[in-house]
Amino acid sequence: MQNKRALGFQAESLAASYLLSKKYSVLDRNVSSRYGEIDIIALNPNTSRIVCVEVKSSHVIESAYEAISHLKLLKMIKTWQQVQRGYPNLEVQIDAIIVQENCVVAHIENIALS
């Protein structure tokens, strides 16, 4: 059985490949600040927006959705605010990619804080 870190890396690699297949440009992976981490930073070709992607992997899809909490979104926003100087000055959105059993099963675009 793979450890959690290896499973996370595999899920992130699948998500990055998925984004590339959709013509996104993957700019960076595993970007950290003192507030948290952004799994993938990509450029959306349709909107010219920077996309901060959270990748979740689970055998139960509902568990993966639930893992992207309000607190996690706030941490991603704070992390982006810390690291944004190194990227093009474009609008930003947060997306989630859900990976289940080695397959991307959902790409949720522009998650809003509610």
Pick the CATH number of 4-108 from 3.40.1350.10, 1.20.200.10, 3.40.1160.10, 3.90.550.10: 3.40.1350.10
What average pLDDT does the segment 2-8 reach? Answer: 75
CA distance 101 to 39: 19
CA distance 58 to 82: 29
How many CA atoms lie within 13 Å of 71's alpha carbon, on the beta-carbon side? 2
46-56 residue pLDDT tens: 887 888 888 87
Q: Where are the domains of the chain?
A: 4-108
Six-digit token string for 83: 């690291």
In terms of residues, how long is the chain? 114
16-40 residue pLDDT tens: 999 999 999 999 999 999 999 999 9
Alpha helices (H) in the chain, listed in sequence order? 4-21, 61-66, 70-83
